[in-house]
């Protein structure tokens, strides 16, 4: 355990089954394992960090997330390699997940930053970044 690393992140989602299908696939591809599950939510854990998805309460459901407003803009994850980023990008395309900044892929984040950016079912931006060296 390293003091200061993220302990967990919790996201409220519009459509829990849809988010769980998407995030379950993505996180398990990155080595996360299912951690907690209950009627309104589920989490996946990798080492000491877990990510939780919770069904938003009905009364807040019609206030959509927008990444350009104040609050979370995106979540970024480490990929194993550039090839891993490419492979995941192809799979995301095949799943018809919206890829952001496609025309500058994989350098949308700059020439030294090999990454894919895409949207989760609530249009939260997600980034998968290759290490500098592989
Ligand atoms: Zn980023």
Our CA dihedral for 52, 53, 57, 61, rounded to 10 degrees, sits at 140
Q: Where are the domains of the chain?
A: 1-58, 73-134
Q: Rounded to the nearest whole angstrom, what is the distance from the C-alpha of residue 116 to the centroid of ligand 1?
A: 10
Domains 1-58 and 73-134 are alike in CATH topology? yes
Mean pLDDT score of the chain = 96
Beta strands in the chain (DSSP E): 8-13, 33-38, 41-46, 49-55, 74-78, 99-100, 115-119, 125-129
Would the pLDDT of 77 be above 90?
A: yes
Tell me which CATH homologous superfamily contains domain 1-58.
2,3-Dihydroxybiphenyl 1,2-Dioxygenase, domain 1 (3.10.180.10)
**Structure confidence at residue 63 (pLDDT):** 87
When pLDDT is cut at 50, 70 and 90, the band that residue 64 belongs to is confident
Peptide bond into 49 cis (omega under 30): no
In the reported structure, the alpha carbon of residue 77 is separated from the centroid of ligand 1 by a whole-number distance in angstroms of 9
Q: Residue 5 pLDDT > 80, yes or no?
A: yes
User: Could you tell me how far CA 116 lies from the centroid of its own chain?
Assistant: 11
Residue 59 has pLDDT above 80, yes or no: yes
* CATH for 73-134 (3.30.230.10, 3.40.50.9100, 3.10.180.10, 3.40.50.300): 3.10.180.10
What residues are neighbours of ligand 1 (ion), with CB under 5 Å?
76, 127
Q: Please tell me the distance between residue 76's alpha carbon and the centre of ligand 1 in angstroms.
A: 6
Rounded Cα–Cα distance for residues 115 and 131 (Å): 9
Residue 127 has pLDDT above 90, yes or no: yes
pTM over 0.85: yes
Residue 120 has pLDDT above 90, yes or no: yes
- 19 burial level (CB within 10 Å; 0-12, 13-18, 19+): buried
Q: How confident is the model at residue 36 (pLDDT cuts 50, 70, 90)?
A: very high
CA of 75 to the centre of ligand 1 (A): 7
């Amino acid at each position: 355990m390293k003091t200061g690393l993220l302990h967990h992140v919790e996201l409220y989602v519009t459509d829990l089954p849809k988010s769980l299908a998407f995030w379950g696939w993505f996180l398990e591809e990155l080595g996360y394992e299912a951690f907690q599950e209950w009627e309104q939510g589920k989490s996946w854990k990798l080492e000491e960090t877990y990510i939780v998805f919770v069904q938003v309460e009905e009364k807040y459901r019609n206030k959509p997330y927008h990444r350009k407003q104040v609050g979370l803009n995106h979540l970024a994850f480490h990929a194993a390699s550039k090839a891993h980023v490419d492979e995941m990008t192809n799979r995301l395309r095949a799943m018809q997940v919206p890829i952001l900044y496609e025309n500058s892929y994989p350098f949308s984040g700059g020439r030294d930053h090999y990454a894919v950016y895409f949207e989760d079912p609530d249009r939260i931006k997600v980034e998968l970044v290759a290490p500098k060296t592989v």
